[in-house]
Copies of this chain bind each other. A is one copy, B any other.
Amino acid sequence: MVARSSSVLIFFFVFLAISSAFPKNKDKYKPCKHLVLFFHDIIYNGKNAANATSAIVAAPQGSNLTILAPNFHFGNIAVFDDPITLDNNLHSKPIGRAQGMYIYDTKNTFTSWLGFSFSLNSTDYQGTINFIGADPIMIKYRDISVVGGTGDFFMHRGVATIDTDSYEGEVYFRLKVDIKFYECW
């Protein structure tokens, strides 16, 4: 009985750790196409112009464009052009670019709002995937919407689960994006 209880307990904590923000309906449906990709963001901090892949372009009153704003970066807009890779290595050959913006939009925790596209240009995939959604960064798995696509992803829709695979200071982060398409054409 003790053994069983601990298993239940372990299962419970593992379940918590791996649970999505809102998993419910997602598991009822089988995706018609499935893609797992990584993208890498290096934000400009005034000193890394050569390497930076994103830049702060808007900030609330009192902030500037080389340091993310206080209060959980509330009010910052960053524009990005980030390499997309098949694995979690920044130096792997990119298969496309993640391009668009993120907005820090909460004053008491880290939350961003994403509007961006994947432009894929590899042997396997040619086309774009368009995303929007809320990204409550402190939650392990967050779901955003795939609202459309072109080329190989013509008219596709789906849900993408985002996971911060790495976060180094406030300069580099890597997102794992698990894209499940439920409408394929």
Contacts of A60 in B (CB 8 A): 44, 55-57, 65, 79
Q: Is the CB of B61 within 8 A of A81?
A: no
Flag whether A177 is at the interface (Cβ < 8 A): no
> Which residue of the partner chain B has the closest CB to A66?
B61
Instruction: Decide if the interface of chain A is mainly helix, strand, loop or mixed.
Output: strand
Which residues of A, 95-143, contact B by the 8 Å Cβ criterion? 97, 99-101, 103-107, 111, 113, 115-117, 119, 126-128, 130, 132-134, 136, 143
Interface residue ranges, A against B (CB under 8 Å): 21-26, 28-29, 44, 46, 55-61, 64-66, 74-77, 79-81, 97, 99-101, 103-107, 111, 113, 115-117, 119, 126-128, 130, 132-134, 136, 143-152, 154-155, 157-159, 182-183, 185
